[in-house]
Amino acid sequence: REVGLPEVLEAISGASLLSDYVQATGGEPALQPEGLRALFKACKEVGMKTSLDTNGSREGVVRGLLEAGLVDHLAMDVKAPLSDPAKYGRVSGLRTDVAERMVRSVRASLEKALEMAPFLEIRTTFVPTLHEKADLVEIAGELVEMGLADRERAYYVIQQFSPRGDLMDPSFANVRQPLADELLELARQVKETTGLKVVFVRTQERGVIRA
């Protein structure tokens, strides 16, 4: 059901003694910038930390929240190499011209996040039919060029694709789920190739693992 902001804020106020964080996730929460800002501001007023889960497409919203000090944890998806808008479009289900604009926004959001986010998680979900392992090495290399390796509390996370749940394309239900050990080996390859000291893998069967 649709819930108004006052009801959400009332629930947050009641849970503030038992919870540390409120996370806005999606869909894409940055598509509702006024409500998102009001939500995070109210969280801060009752002493709760905030987490934003975003695809980075609304750079102005991300920047505004960071500059206002309203985000404690930022989780951002990077779906494909930023140097390849056509591939970004295929992975995201977007036309290439739309993907080109998307990539520009994602890059700008990343730059601001690397500059200002207190705690930053940059994630790629590895889908065997959409990604080559070299794609994730390339993404990580781009992040290093943007300054990820020089940041504290900023990490690259490789996520395990699941063929269940809410899928962008029903045909993905037939795609093989990569094994945790396979993703760990990929994470080690990313570290060795790019110089990143820390890469995490997130899987269903083993949780979050540091490679």
Q: Looking at the 3D structure of the chain, how many domains does it have? A: 1
C-alpha closest to that of 124 among 164, 167, 75: 75
Boundaries of domain holding 110: 5-210
The end-to-end CA distance of the chain, in Å, is 40
Lowest mean pLDDT among 6-20, 56-70, 144-158: 6-20
Kindly report, residue by residue over 105-159, the tens digit of the pLDDT.
Answer: 999 999 999 999 999 999 999 999 999 999 999 999 999 999 999 999 999 999 9
Q: Report pLDDT for 22.
A: 92
Which residues lie below 8 Å from residue 94, measured CB to CB, with a gap of 6+? 88, 102
pTM of the model: 0.92
**Band of residue 38 on the pLDDT scale cut at 50, 70, 90:** very high
Q: How many CB atoms lie within 10 A of CB 145?
A: 11
Mean pLDDT on 66-82? 98
Q: Are 44 and 72 in contact (CB under 8 A)?
A: no
Calculate the average pLDDT of the chain: 94
Is it the case that residue 31 has pLDDT exceeding 90? yes
Angle formed by the axes of helices 85-92 and 96-116, to 10°? 100
Q: Residue 177 and residue 157: Cα distance in Å, rounded? A: 17
The arithmetic mean of pLDDT across residues 175-196, rounded, is 96
Q: Over 90: is that where the pLDDT of 169 sits?
A: no
* C-beta separation of 80 from 60 below 8 A: no
Q: What is the DSSP string of 95-138?
A: -HHHHHHHHHHHHHHHHHHHHH-SSEEEEEEE-TTT--HHHHHH
- Confidence band of 47 (pLDDT split at 50, 70, 90): confident
- Checking if the pLDDT of 40 tops 80, the result is yes
Q: Give the pLDDT confidence score for residue 168 in this predicted structure.
A: 74
Decide: 52 and 27 in contact? Cβ < 8 Å: no
167 pLDDT exceeds 80? no
Q: What is the CATH number of the domain that holds 91?
A: 3.20.20.70
Looking at residue 14, its pLDDT comes to 76
The span from the CA of 158 to the CA of 197, in Å, is: 14
Q: Given this model, what pLDDT does residue 181 score?
A: 97
